[in-house]
Structure 1
Amino acid sequence: MRTRRTAASAAALTVLTVLATGTLSAPAHAAGNTLTVNVGTTVRPVTHVAAGGLYAVNTGNNPPLSMMYPLRLNHLTQPPPGGQQLGNGATQPCCDGLQVAGKVTSGGAQQFYRMPDIYPNFPYKWVSWADWESKVRTMVQARLAATGTTNVDGWELWNEPDWTWNTAAAGSFNAGWTRTYQLIRSLDTVTPIVGPSHSIYSHSWMVDFLTNAKNTGTVPDVIVWHELGDDSYLNVQAHVADYRAIETSLGISPRPISINEYASPSQVDIPSVAVHYMAVFERHGIRDAERAYWYEAGTLNGLLHNNAPTSSYWTYKWYGDMAGNIVQTVPGSWLEGVAAYDSTRKIVNVVLGGDSGNNTVKVNGLSALGTQVRVTLTRSGTTGRTTNQSAPIAVTTGTYNVVNGSISVAVNGMNALDSYQLLVTPVSGVPTWQQRYEAENATVVNANRFSSASASSGGYVGQIDGSADMRAASFVDFLVNVPQTRSYTMNIGYANATGANATQGLAANGSAWSTVTYPPTGAWGSFGASVNATVNLTAGWNTIRLAKGSPYFAGGTGYAELDAITLS
């Protein structure tokens, strides 16, 4: 919320510091830097880690689904059922997680429910334990009654307890965490519990919190903290390393990490700053991250103004276009970037920014694209939060000779606030629309991603096992974009080592369920087998679900792992 105390580091940031005038201080090394992209070095599957927000989605048309789809949203944090929070000057509460659940799921995201946002005020005004526990019961029971709602993957027990928890009235936060955790688990044994959600990362706070959590059997399923200072992206690597060391020292099994608020008020709308966060979150193993809610709700955290794009939207749209695997980037001074390689379409997608003047992007590992490649360079512009930009700005297009697997592209006259997209494709043969979709790039609910040398693009989804109810249902949602309204043949790559036929449910855009049958294959994690199904899709965006369990579906039989789908 806008009234929160910003936890910036005491160290002054040399570059990318926005002054009160809205200008940017001069970079320490304004030109002559090189961002290196190593296409052959895979970091992780594309999951669009940084594509999320706090209070990003409201009911109705704020934002439109048509604006959400291209971003491939990963994760959101929304108010809980019945939330009454009046954030940032709002006169009515908004964004109730149950009310927006259908839109969140359609957009491909999952969501936490931030429980203390049941209170109208921020900082929160504690009433009593009887009041709080009554509220907790009401919130949990409302979610349990929503039997058609999926993609709720966390109860966030509190928000920024380091300064919003009323110790004098409620006792210590660690004791309050334990008490609340135990109450929720008495009501809901399935939905993950996440926290502690400190406003900054603190070694001593994390040690104290986790020591108590381990001793009381209340370790969160997902670890959460915020990165809200002007230089926070510089600290992510150290914070992750410190947290992992604490886990190890306490004998706690590794937890996913969520940074469910990132970027300071002065920097959240600068495209090049977004690139820095994207890069460090992908590089250092963050599971999901959400843009902070400093201003207005329901705008994808400022990516839209009046439901139309700002310049920052295009940065996240380029990021959303990534498919296949995130590959290694090596920054040069403040020239930072995130890159992906889609091996099925032979597309290298680099999003970069952070320095001014004349700089270079060197891309290695391009031999599979041929002896010549097409390079297209585009920039975002810097409109800020309240000015629309209907499209990104074309910079250059050219053909480059690939020498020893590499090209070097000059990016001249850079603006340190802008982000840039550099697309590298073969000179010919690039498909006009994406036909192959990797399961590990899709929305994976109550299942897990794995790697295999035999899998397309090296990854697959397994442990698609749950069918008990809407909280435990296991499925994979593929968000696809097709050119025509018609029937498509869908080829599904799979593995099934049960020794018998397995089945999953198939539905497109919430249509009636059909059944896909997977004959047995040789081994788990070993791919090459496929089956065909028919799906009816409309021109534009569609969601295809393959499910072991899902609301309104009786449930699949046996077990199958998913590699990829191909539409034709």
Structure 2
Amino acid sequence: MRKIAVLLLVTAGLVVPSPAQAAGNTLTVNVGTVVRPVTHVAAGGLYAVDTGSKPPLEQLYPLRLNHLTQPPPGVQQLGNGATTPCCDGLLVAGKVTSAGAQQFLRLPDIYPNFPYRWVSWADWEAKVRTMVQARTAATGTTNIDGYELWNEPDWTWNTASAGSFLDGWTRTHRLIRTLDTVTPIVGPSHAIYNHQWMVDFLTNARNTSTLPDVIVWHELDNDSYLNVQAHVNDYRAIEQSLGISPRPISINEYASPSQVDIPSVAVHYMAVFERHGIRSAERAYWYEAGTLNGLLHNNAPTSSYWTYKWYGDMAGNIVQTIPGSWLEGVAAYDSTRRFVNVVFGGDSGSNTVRVNGLGALGSQVRATLVRSGTTGRTTNQSAPIAVSSTTYTVSGGSISVPVTGMNALDSYQLLITPASGAATWQQRYEAENATVVNANRFSAASASSGGYVGQIDGIANSRNQSFVDFLVNVPAARAYTMTIGYANGTGATATQGLAYNGSAWQTVSYPATAAWGVFGSTVNASVTLRAGWNVIRLAKGSPNFAGGTGYAELDYINLA
């Protein structure tokens, strides 16, 4: 969060991301070209979640939140006019875990003011010890995946009193590692990506053995989504030139104050983050905390909420989109349900979405089109706005869907399903789409949808225990047979723990299979779920679970 000066283009009283181009543009979707597994990269926020019912879990579930940055235990920050501190990362951890997200703790938000008011090194180091010790004592909390050592040091670090930021980074990093050797450390969290700053930071971090585990910077200017590719390419080149192994990239603040409530701008950020390999990204905190950064007003959806809900509906794989002028989009293909989900926007007038690679959906498809509206952050919208529902004949594996009368500020969803009938609810959930904690995603030709989760190995404590959380939505309260696709190359039976919605743990046994990364084997378990949203955890290690034996890789779960 920061104050910035921006040049604004105002149309109909709202700020738009760029001048809308002439109509007649085409967004191309290539269903057969996989970009990456669906992980809802851009579904996150800074100070997005508070305690209690602000926001309600029922509003969080459909968004399939990926990642948050929350303030640290003992937060004193009074951001954006707040009168009391909020959103302590440890206090919201249970809610955030239920929603499927991980979170960074932003340590400098222990200070009450922004920009931060430095006191002394003795004061700061005492604060760091207290915050880190509070986290390590929270043995039931499993979703803290990073300490953010400072926020926007390019303008909030007090060099006159604290010395250089590079020395401060080194000193703070080393202190934390005396207290916690497990939790990742992330940074440098610059407000603006700057080549030389990144070179200087990484050179110092390499030379002092204080490299961050996750690289973080912010994209907050009006044209930031245009620069993501260049920034990623520049960062990767620096990393390589310095002999540093590749780090995940998190953009844990994105969108300017004038952009954050414009649905079509959100689509532009989603598209470039997915396209250019960002691990996680979070809407910036410019206004009220605990509102999912303006997706909710009085705990009910605004128009922007529906953009993120459609994005949350994505499953399977993100597939290639090719923008046409300012007509941009993100798309996913769920091969098990044969759904193509395209979220797009950015141009006005009459435009086209062309979707290629639809052969598996049959000779005819149903294309359902809805739009978000543009209510802003303080007006609720109870549902998307219906536009059309049309049956198309697939020709050469393709259809072209005209979208007339587009509003450049709106976002749109195009859902393409077989005309003969679509699945009424999602039964198969890919492990690589789920919340993966202290394990890793891999690809394999034999895996369902091409991906799986392996290295589910950790059992020691809540900071490195390994598990996969599946957020599922079922139509009725009842017992379901859960089929688990897996591989186990150990040569002996392996076990994991299974729990759901706070239930007691049961054990799942995985007989040995032919090899690692070769799938087709399954085992069954019974789960009794409530109607609606449920969290199912398969764990090698987890709080209140003694730990699994051997090793198993997870391909998917299927509920029937």
Interval containing the TM-score (normalised by the shorter chain): over 0.9
Structure-2 residue corresponding to 1:103: 95
Offset of 1:431 from its aligned partner? Answer: 1.3
SS of structure 2 residue aligned to 1:226: strand
Q: Is the 8 A contact 1:462 1:561 kept in 2?
A: yes
**The one of 289, 302, 311 aligned to 2:303:** 311
Task: Measure the CA separation in 2 of the matches of 1:530 and 1:302.
Answer: 43
Task: Measure the CA separation in 2 of the matches of 1:491 and 1:228.
Answer: 44
Task: Measure the CA separation in 2 of the matches of 1:488 and 1:450.
Answer: 28
**The one of 541, 545, 550 aligned to 1:549:** 541
**Which 4+ runs in 1 deviate beyond 6 A?**
none
Offset of 1:22 from its aligned partner? Answer: 2.6
Please show how residues 86-235 of structure 1 align to structure 2 within 5 Å.
86-235=78-227
Say if 1:23 and 1:467 are closer, same or farther in 2 by CA, change over 3 A. Answer: closer
Task: Measure the CA separation in 1 of the matches of 2:403 and 2:494.
Answer: 52
Structure-1 residue corresponding to 2:382: 390
- Partner letter of residue 544 of structure 1? I
**The one of 425, 440, 444 aligned to 1:433:** 425
SS of structure 1 residue aligned to 2:326: coil
Structure-2 residue corresponding to 1:5: 3
Say if 1:21 and 1:396 are closer, same or farther in 2 by CA, change over 3 A. Answer: closer
Please give the root-mean-square deviation of Cα atoms over the aligned residues, in Å.
Answer: 1.1
The one-character-per-residue Cα deviations of 1:437-468 (angstroms, maximum 9, x if unpaired) are 00000000000000000000000000000000
> Is 1:342 the counterpart of 2:334 in the alignment?
yes
Task: Measure the CA separation in 2 of the matches of 1:431 and 1:402.
Answer: 20
Task: Measure the CA separation in 1 of the matches of 2:15 and 2:265.
Answer: 14
**The one of 509, 518, 521 aligned to 1:517:** 509
Task: Measure the CA separation in 2 of the matches of 1:141 and 1:393.
Answer: 49
Task: Measure the CA separation in 1 of the matches of 2:243 and 2:421.
Answer: 52
- Partner letter of residue 219 of structure 2? E
Offset of 1:5 from its aligned partner? Answer: 3.0
**The one of 513, 528, 531 aligned to 2:520:** 528
Say if 1:66 and 1:212 are closer, same or farther in 2 by CA, change over 3 A. Answer: same
Structure-1 residue corresponding to 2:275: 283
Aligned residue pairs total 560
> Is 1:564 the counterpart of 2:556 in the alignment?
yes
Offset of 1:24 from its aligned partner? Answer: 3.9
Offset of 1:184 from its aligned partner? Answer: 0.2
The one-character-per-residue Cα deviations of 1:90-135 (angstroms, maximum 9, x if unpaired) are 0000000000000010000000000000000000000000000000
Say if 1:358 and 1:461 are closer, same or farther in 2 by CA, change over 3 A. Answer: same
Task: Measure the CA separation in 1 of the matches of 2:409 and 2:526.
Answer: 46
Q: Is the 8 A contact 1:7 1:200 kept in 2?
A: no
SS of structure 2 residue aligned to 1:247: helix
Offset of 1:324 from its aligned partner? Answer: 0.1
- Partner letter of residue 6 of structure 1? I
The one-character-per-residue Cα deviations of 1:328-368 (angstroms, maximum 9, x if unpaired) are 00000000000000000000000000000000000000000
**The one of 37, 48, 57 aligned to 1:56:** 48
Q: Is the 8 A contact 1:27 1:356 kept in 2?
A: no
Q: Is the 8 A contact 2:498 2:537 kept in 1?
A: yes
Offset of 1:547 from its aligned partner? Answer: 0.1
Please show how residues 321-360 of structure 1 align to structure 2 within 5 Å.
321-360=313-352
Offset of 1:430 from its aligned partner? Answer: 1.5
TM-score, length-normalised on structure 2? 0.99
Unaligned stretches of 5+ in structure 1?
none
- Partner letter of residue 127 of structure 1? V
The one-character-per-residue Cα deviations of 1:291-329 (angstroms, maximum 9, x if unpaired) are 000000000000000000000000000000000000000
Offset of 1:264 from its aligned partner? Answer: 0.2
The one-character-per-residue Cα deviations of 1:234-257 (angstroms, maximum 9, x if unpaired) are 000000000000000000000000
Offset of 1:429 from its aligned partner? Answer: 3.4
Offset of 1:532 from its aligned partner? Answer: 0.1
- Partner letter of residue 202 of structure 1? N
Q: Is the 8 A contact 2:20 2:347 kept in 1?
A: no
> Is 1:237 the counterpart of 2:200 in the alignment?
no
Structure-1 residue corresponding to 2:243: 251
**The one of 452, 468, 471 aligned to 1:460:** 452
Task: Measure the CA separation in 1 of the matches of 2:483 and 2:27.
Answer: 38
Task: Measure the CA separation in 1 of the matches of 2:172 and 2:208.
Answer: 12
TM-score, length-normalised on structure 1? 0.97
Q: Is the 8 A contact 1:349 1:424 kept in 2?
A: yes
